[in-house]
Amino acid sequence: MDTDEQHTRAGGGDRRRWFTVGYKRQVVEETLTGDTSVSVVARRHDLNSNQLFNWRRHYRNGLLEETANSGAALMPVHVADAQVAATAEPPGSPRPPSAGGEVEIHLSGGHRVVVRGDADHAALRVALEVLSG
């Protein structure tokens, strides 16, 4: 098994492995071609056959598709001081009047976004697109 395809959680005695979507698709497709049984393919890849049956069901339901966000990663964020951020704008740039309120947005993935005061519309749009997945 390729090390790029499998990841093991570090620490403790727990040996929980994480597999990429591409690897899951590859193993499932092995079970769909030829006369090899699911349990033989599972043993070949050191998997539990129930896990492989689960992956097959996900494959049939279109849940093992590569998505544009599959390469998404967390990036470090640095929050600037409010005064520094205010002076970073070019002089004379038009700003909408301050709403001064608070908006709370609940997304379907269980994420909650709270926006207080003025918000950069472009940054908020990007954040909502990423969290909505």
What confidence score (pLDDT) does residue 65 get? 83
Which are the contacts of 17, defined by CB distance < 8 A and separation ≥ 6?
Answer: 6, 7, 8, 9
pLDDT at 67: 67
Tell me: the pLDDT tens digits for 54-87? 999 999 998 888 765 555 667 787 777 766 555 5
**Model confidence band, residue 49 (pLDDT cutoffs 50, 70, 90):** very high
Question: Is residue 4 packed enough to be buried (19+ CB in 10 Å), middle (13-18) or exposed (0-12)?
Answer: exposed
Q: Could you give the domains of the chain?
A: 6-66 (1.10.10), 73-132 (no CATH)
**pLDDT at residue 91, rounded to an integer:** 60
DSSP symbol at 90: P
Look up residue 101 and give its two tokens. 């309120």
